[in-house]
């Protein structure tokens, strides 16, 4: 038996870090979070309640003005649509990735991950080239004789949804891929030998077991989409603002900080509620109980 190292920095068994060391190691992270995230958000929320004087008027304006309420609803709807689209488009890719090995798998993985390394601005700009009046899509449609007039594609809500889906797709694919990879091969084999066709195996076994991945992917995409700024700002219609563009306008053009802060407050409430609902109602840890 080796003698346990006794020190403030180690647990008494000598193998684990003590509570104190754990705290010290985590401190820098929490300090940064507190400084760059919690403090500014708290300040903003304070402004929304306290300026110009202690009041709930700023929030009343969000709800009372139908334009603002519509912006909020549009934002939620767009985020939901983007989430649904990326789930539908991303699942097959993740499924393919989880079942393929070798060079082809690496190629697909690179195709999924590479866009993450390029700026959102670049990817959004690329879409505006594709979607503009004399862009690639319109010229192709006209060359094929499918239309004589170019469609209005750019500066529409559809352009926003398409580009956001493209930008956020990796955040859907990667968690689903992770969930699918953690399902042992033997489950599919067991289902097959028990008489399940490939489709039944997928529907009854693989899909339910990959749901935790779908849920975390959806949460990531939905929450990110709610606060998306560059893509709606560059590709969207000025008549169909999203909440982030509205906030930006309030701050930069109208200089109405209290109202912008109230908008952020409403968004924060939605995000928090959503996170709570997901973690309380869906016990996915239980679902995955013995899938080791």
Q: Minimum CB separation from another protein for residue 204, in Å? A: 7
Residues 145-184: x where in contact with another protein by CB under 8 A, - otherwise, as a string: ---------------------------------------x
Q: Minimum CB separation from another protein for residue 200, in Å? A: 6
Structure tokens at 286: 């239980």
Assess 190 for contact with another protein (CB under 8 A).
yes
CA–CA distances in Å: residue 4 to residues 8, 10, 22, 24, 37: 12, 9, 19, 22, 41
Stretch that binds another protein, among 152-160, 217-225, 258-266, 282-290 (CB under 8 A): 282-290
Stretch that binds another protein, among 52-60, 101-109, 189-197, 238-246 (CB under 8 A): 189-197
Question: Which residues have C-beta within 8 Å of that of residue 2, sequence separation ≥ 6?
Answer: 14
Smaller CB separation from another protein, 73 or 287: 287
DSSP 8-state symbol, 288: T
Q: Are 37 and 46 in contact (CB under 8 A)?
A: no
What number of other Cβ atoms are within 10 A of residue 100's Cβ? 14
Structure tokens at 142: 């006209």
Q: Are 271 and 226 in contact (CB under 8 A)?
A: yes
Of positions 105, 196, 223, 233, contacts another protein by CB under 8 A: 196
Of positions 54, 103, 117, 186, contacts another protein by CB under 8 A: 186
Smaller CB separation from another protein, 108 or 196: 196
Stretch that binds another protein, among 40-48, 123-131, 193-201, 269-277 (CB under 8 A): 193-201
Question: Which residues have C-beta within 8 Å of that of residue 146, sequence separation ≥ 6?
Answer: none
Assess 291 for contact with another protein (CB under 8 A).
yes
Residues 248-267: x where in contact with another protein by CB under 8 A, - otherwise, as a string: --------------------
Assess 199 for contact with another protein (CB under 8 A).
no
CA distance 253 to 238: 14
Assess 64 for contact with another protein (CB under 8 A).
no
Of positions 28, 54, 66, 289, contacts another protein by CB under 8 A: 289
Assess 38 for contact with another protein (CB under 8 A).
no
Of positions 114, 189, 272, 273, contacts another protein by CB under 8 A: 189
CA distance 211 to 112: 20
Assess 282 for contact with another protein (CB under 8 A).
no
Give the burial string for 238-252 (b: 16+ CB within 10 Å, else e): eebbbbbbbbbebbe
Smaller CB separation from another protein, 134 or 290: 290
Q: Are 205 and 188 in contact (CB under 8 A)?
A: yes
Dihedral angle over CA of 231, 233, 236, 240, nearest 10 = 130
Assess 200 for contact with another protein (CB under 8 A).
yes
Within a 13 Å sphere around the CA of 151, how many CA atoms are in the beta-carbon half? 16
What residues make contact with another protein under the rule CB under 8 A? 184, 186-187, 189-197, 200, 204-205, 208-209, 286-291
């Amino acid at each position: 038996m080796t003698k346990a190292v006794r020190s403030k920095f180690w647990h008494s068994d000598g193998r684990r870090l003590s509570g104190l060391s754990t705290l010290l190691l985590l401190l820098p992270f929490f300090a940064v979070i507190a400084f760059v995230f919690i403090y500014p958000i708290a300040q903003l929320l304070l402004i929304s309640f306290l300026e110009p004087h202690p009041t709930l008027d700023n929030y009343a304006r969000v709800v009372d003005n139908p334009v603002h309420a519509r912006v909020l609803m549009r934002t939620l709807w767009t985020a939901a649509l983007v989430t649904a689209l990326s789930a539908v488009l991303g699942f097959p890719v993740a499924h393919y990735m989880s079942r393929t090995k070798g060079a082809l798998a690496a190629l697909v993985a690179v195709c999924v991950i590479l866009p993450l390394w390029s700026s959102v601005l670049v990817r959004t700009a690329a879409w505006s080239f594709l979607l503009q009046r004399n862009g690639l899509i319109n010229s192709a449609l006209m060359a094929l004789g499918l239309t004589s007039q170019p469609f209005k594609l750019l500066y529409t809500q559809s352009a926003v949804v398409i580009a956001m889906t493209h930008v956020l797709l990796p955040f859907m694919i990667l968690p689903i891929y992770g969930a699918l990879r953690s399902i042992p091969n033997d489950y599919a084999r067991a289902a097959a030998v028990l008489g399940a066709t490939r489709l039944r195996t997928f529907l009854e076994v693989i899909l339910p077991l990959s749901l935790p991945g779908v849920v975390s992917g959806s949460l990531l995409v939905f929450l990110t989409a709610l606060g998306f700024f560059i893509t709606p700002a560059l590709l969207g219609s000025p008549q169909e603002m999203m909440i982030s563009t509205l906030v930006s306008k309030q701050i930069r053009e109208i200089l109405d900080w209290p109202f912008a802060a109230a908008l952020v407050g409403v968004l924060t409430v939605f995000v928090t509620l959503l996170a709570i609902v997901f973690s309380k109602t869906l016990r996915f840890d239980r679902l995955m109980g013995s899938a080791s």
